[in-house]
Structure 1
Amino acid sequence: MASTSETGHAKNVANFEDLISFCTGYGASYNPSKAAIKLPALNTLLTSARNSLIAVNTAVSPYNIAVNAREIAFAPLSKLVTRIINSLDSTDATTQIVKDAKTFARKIQGGRAEKLPPPPPPTPPVEKIILPSPPPTPLPIIPVHVSASQMSFDSRIENFSKLILLLTNEPLYIPNETDLKLVTLNTLLTTLKTTNTAVVNNTTPMSNARINRNKILYLAVTGLFDIQKEVKKYVKSVFGASSPEYKQISGIKFTNSK
């Protein structure tokens, strides 16, 4: 389903086509001297605008497919990591090894590498003393902790890779469960990297297509949005502000949706 913003671009192009249709219907009366708003130029701009929408839709489709594939690949990761940690913790691996593994696990699952310090104790109530014109009591300053969540896909891949390396170097990590074995984890790591790269590779053409569309529709002076305003000004100057011709087109709405 198209997003609201994408629908807005398509609506602008559709409305521009309506605008051209009305101007064409004015016949010889629509005869501007400005080249950019002559009918041939308007139709050329309309064709470019349509093609830009097609280019975006063409690029968005493989991008969405890649994003969905990545979501599917990453979906079981957090629960799998929990099982890995439980399996490692059930061995005779050292406390430090388990601690390091849990650090990687928290990063993969989007938690903090270290727990937050406890909040400061509340300020005890102070007996109110009435003084003449007492100065205002400043509010206590409570430290604000910026989230250290590392949920980006690149970061999760990196920390999963580090976890696998730690497990590879731990001879006591020899689970019987197939999905916890190192060979399976390495296969999953490869899948995560592949699906993430696919998203990155499909992001560029989609982004470029959107940039080109925005130039055609919204670039100052030459873009569709500014051109339609010039067309309306011309029709107003020819037929008058209260004319039925101007009323036909003045109500055609365009939005600067870039």
Structure 2
Amino acid sequence: MSTNTSTSEVGHAKNIANLNLLNTHILALGNLYNPANSAILLTNLQQKYNDAFTQQEDVNNLLPPYSQAVNERQAIFKPLNRDLTKLRKAYKVTEGVTTAQLEDLMTIIRKIKGVRKTDIVDSTDPDSNQTNYSVSQMSYDQRTNNMETLIAHLQNTPNYNPNETEYKIKTYEDKKVQMLATTQAVADTYVPLNNARSIRNNTIYNASDNLVDLANTAKDYIFTILDSDSAQYRTVAKIKFKKR
């Protein structure tokens, strides 16, 4: 199975791996393991493991494109505050710029800079919740829209035509294109990841026959057929299954 350093993914993978371990112990019990509850028959537990393993693999395979998209967007947006501070100075020295025009520019810049940190969840954690993601995406969309307003303001300022490339209108038009592209890439990679995560979570935690509940039920049954002083009993007792 692919590895993932996020704490939540380790938790999911641990539940899946522990079911495989439990199944191995059940197999070793042979005919002694004979529950009346068909849901915890070994064949059903093995199928549950196979389903969860495959679904976790799907999540793992979809995570790198999403993480890369988030990192690329961060690389575009992170320098903006510094760049806009320098732009203000370049704008201020433009011939004929009035105090009112400078104030209008600053209002736009504040909108681009002024997204609260708590609103932006630029996380590659695949279990970052959907509400936080939606707020984050909206924040980036708003910043990009304000960049368009900034460009229009520069275009409508007489004499604004700096020699330095970093302050030119074309430079900011290019930034806007990059902002749009990277924000869209995050959305495009998030949707399949979120769908795969939902399927995986349903199998492990949410369905009526979810992995965690079935595994704990199977453990309870095993405890009825093994001596509590036996090595097998103690080993199975150490195999843990936890809800998120």
RMSD of Structure 2 on Structure 1 (CA): 1.8
Shift of 1:97: 1.3
Instruction: Decide which of 66, 69, 73 is 1:70's aligned counterpart.
Output: 73
Shift of 1:76: 2.0
Determine the C-alpha separation between the residues in 2 that align with 1:244 and 1:88. 77
Identical counterparts, % of pairs? 37
Shift of 1:16: 0.8
Determine the C-alpha separation between the residues in 1 that align with 2:207 and 2:68. 34
Asked if the contact 2:115–2:139 (Cα under 8 Å) also holds between the matched residues in 1, the reply is no
1:29 corresponds to which letter in structure 2? L
Matched, 1:33 2:36: yes
Equivalent position of 2:63 in the other structure:
60
Equivalent position of 1:173 in the other structure:
160
Matched, 1:50 2:36: no
Matched, 1:213 2:216: no
- Between Structure 1 and Structure 2, the one with more helix by share is 2
Equivalent position of 2:123 in the other structure:
none
Instruction: Decide which of 126, 144, 156 is 2:143's aligned counterpart.
Output: 156
Unaligned 5+ runs, structure 1: 113-150
Compare CA radii of gyration and give the structure with the larger one: 1
Equivalent position of 1:7 in the other structure:
10
SS in 2 for 1:202: helix
Instruction: Decide which of 90, 93, 114 is 2:97's aligned counterpart.
Output: 93
Determine the C-alpha separation between the residues in 1 that align with 2:207 and 2:110. 48
TM-score (norm 2): 0.84
Cα distance per residue 1:9-52 (max 9 Å; x no partner): 11111111110000000011111222221111111111011011
Shift of 1:214: 0.6
Determine the C-alpha separation between the residues in 2 that align with 1:156 and 1:229. 48
Asked if the contact 1:10–1:53 (Cα under 8 Å) also holds between the matched residues in 2, the reply is yes
Matched, 1:81 2:84: yes
Shift of 1:77: 1.3
Determine the C-alpha separation between the residues in 2 that align with 1:154 and 1:105. 15
Matched, 1:239 2:242: no
Equivalent position of 1:223 in the other structure:
210
Which range moved further: 219-228 or 48-57?
219-228
Cα distance per residue 1:130-175 (max 9 Å; x no partner): xxxxxxxxxxxxxxxxxxxxx9322221211111111111122111
Determine the C-alpha separation between the residues in 1 that align with 2:187 and 2:81. 22
Determine the C-alpha separation between the residues in 1 that align with 2:238 and 2:53. 22
Asked if the contact 2:55–2:200 (Cα under 8 Å) also holds between the matched residues in 1, the reply is yes
SS in 2 for 1:26: helix
Determine the C-alpha separation between the residues in 1 that align with 2:170 and 2:108. 19
Cα distance per residue 1:49-83 (max 9 Å; x no partner): 10111011111110001001111111221111112
Shift of 1:243: 4.3
Equivalent position of 2:114 in the other structure:
110
Shift of 1:220: 4.7
Matched, 1:254 2:231: no
Cα distance per residue 1:214-252 (max 9 Å; x no partner): 111112531110001110111122225444433221121
SS in 2 for 1:152: helix
Unaligned 5+ runs, structure 2: 117-137
SS in 2 for 1:173: coil
Determine the C-alpha separation between the residues in 2 that align with 1:228 and 1:171. 72
Determine the C-alpha separation between the residues in 1 that align with 2:47 and 2:231. 27
Determine the C-alpha separation between the residues in 2 that align with 1:211 and 1:170. 50
TM-score (norm 1): 0.80
Asked if the contact 1:235–1:245 (Cα under 8 Å) also holds between the matched residues in 2, the reply is no
Aligned residue-pair number: 219
Shift of 1:110: 2.3
